[in-house]
């Protein structure tokens, strides 16, 4: 790998400066990754979002189900996040989820 080449994963070290190392948190939605590192603590639904930052997780169905009445607002918020396209290897590491609602 070239010295300045970056390899991305769902949760990778993000060096802000030599004194402060953070772990970048990304969620996958419709084949793209969104950096939610700074959003996690402000997410109105709480820390459930952290579950979807694990390698192989896909938040697409969860976002569509839980935010169906606020799609425009959610897409506006997500549009403010840094976005990158998932690699073919990352797409193969999918863990499909079934979400059930009990009434």
Distance CA 66, CA 48 (A): 11
Note the pLDDT of residue 8. 45
* Contact (Cβ atoms closer than 8 angstroms) between residue 35 and residue 82: yes
**What is the tens place of the pLDDT at every residue in 20-77?**
556 899 999 999 999 999 999 999 888 889 989 988 889 999 999 999 899 899 999 9
> Which residues in 1-103 belong to E strands, given as ranges?
11-17, 20-29, 32-35, 83-85
Say what the pLDDT of residue 1 is.
Answer: 47
For residue 15, pLDDT beyond 80 = no
């Amino acid at each position: 790998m070239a010295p300045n080449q970056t390899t991305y994963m769902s949760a990778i070290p993000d060096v802000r400066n030599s004194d402060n190392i953070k772990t970048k948190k990304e969620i996958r939605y419709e084949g793209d990754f969104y950096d939610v590192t700074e959003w996690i603590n402000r997410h109105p639904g709480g820390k459930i979002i952290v579950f979807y930052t694990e390698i192989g997780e896909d938040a697409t169905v969860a976002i569509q189900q839980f935010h169906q009445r606020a799609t425009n607002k959610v897409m506006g918020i997500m549009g403010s996040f840094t976005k990158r396209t998932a690699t073919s290897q990352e797409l193969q590491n999918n863990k499909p989820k079934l979400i059930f609602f009990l009434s």
